[in-house]
Structure 1
Amino acid sequence: MGMMQEFKAFAIKGNVVDLAVAVIIGAAFGKIVDSLVQDIVMPIIGKVLGGLDFANYYLPLNNQGMQMTLVEAKKAGAVLAYGNFITILLNFLILAFIIFQMVRVINKARRTTVAPEPATPATPEDIVLLREIRDSLKK
């Protein structure tokens, strides 16, 4: 029964619960950023670059032609899907930038709310007196 109580104490700790909440929110936030990149950012980039669709950019690694879509090419054999990689890389960069901005704001808030360190307490009178006696004896 001791191990179950120890596990319960571990699982209820604030850090474990905070981590679980962060993972769940992070997964949901990742889906939002993924949708932002695939549904908004990449189509705009594709339009600016002349109607390019990055999702179907690949290099076949066997003797197949490049007239197929990426899904068909993957069924036919190995492909190097660099367009998909560009999309995922952009997804990561946006997510990393947003997290960086959030950390900056949190750190800034912490700096403004942290109280300054208390001043060192005054030295007691008897210590001051003993130091004066010591200094006068040194002369």
Structure 2
Amino acid sequence: MGLFKEFRQFMMRGSAIDIGIGVVLGAAVSSFVDSLVRDILLPPIGLVYSRMNIENLHISLSGRTYSSLADAKEAGAITINYGLFISTSIRFVIILFIVFLVVRQMNRWKKPHQHPLDSMTKKECPYCCLSIPNRAVICPNCSSSLEKKQSAESTTYPRLKIK
């Protein structure tokens, strides 16, 4: 009974719902990109390359020549389908770019005042020698006040006094 209770808590937490929504949206984006590549992008590319269908490009390992991939499959020939690989690679790059844009936007929504790379840079506290965020003015480990060294392009932060 403990397993089902734990599963129900997992479902109610929102993680499973987020995953489910992501899978559904991923399938929708995948079918959209699939149609975009097959129906919009590849025909003009094939027209440029002597009126051929990119997805029909193949190498027959039997040594015979076939006019299309469908003819080769019908004859039972073993083929290397590099046209399908090119098409799939284009789809992959487009989907990868869309995922990048979505993640980038979600990071902006989470912390609009902070650049994503700022939180990843670290410095060492001069008092306790532990790693702390680069923009910290008080060490979260030893509570020491940190003063930023003044350089030509930066200004110093005033020391914070804890009462």
Under a length normalisation based on structure 1, what TM-score does the superposition of the two structures give? 0.75
The 1-side partners of 2:36 and 2:56 are apart by: 18
Cα gap change, 1:111/1:50 in structure 2, threshold over 3 Å: closer, same or farther?
Answer: farther
Q: Which runs of 5+ in 2 are unaligned?
A: 115-134, 139-159
Cα gap change, 1:20/1:113 in structure 2, threshold over 3 Å: closer, same or farther?
Answer: farther
Residues 43-82 of structure 1 mapped to structure 2, 5 A cutoff: 43-67=43-67, 69-75=68-74, 76-82=76-82
Q: Which runs of 5+ in 1 are unaligned?
A: 125-139
Which gives a bigger RCO, structure 1 or 2 (Cα 8 Å, sep 6+)? 1
More helix by share: 1
Shift of 1:17: 1.1
- Structure 1 residues 92-112: Cα deviation after superposition (integer angstroms, max 9, x where no partner): 111111221222222233332
> Counterpart in 2 of 1:123?
162
Code of the residue aligned with 1:123 in structure 2: it is I
1:26 to 2:26 alignment: yes
Cα gap change, 1:2/1:92 in structure 2, threshold over 3 Å: closer, same or farther?
Answer: same
> Counterpart in 1 of 2:17?
17
Sequence identity of aligned pairs in percent?
A: 32
Between 2-11 and 89-98, the greater mean CA deviation after superposition: 2-11
Under a length normalisation based on structure 2, what TM-score does the superposition of the two structures give? 0.65
Code of the residue aligned with 1:47 in structure 2: it is L
4+ residue runs over 3 A deviation: 117-122
CA RMSD of aligned residues (A): 2.3
Verify the 8 A CA contact 1:59 1:66 in the aligned structure 2.
no
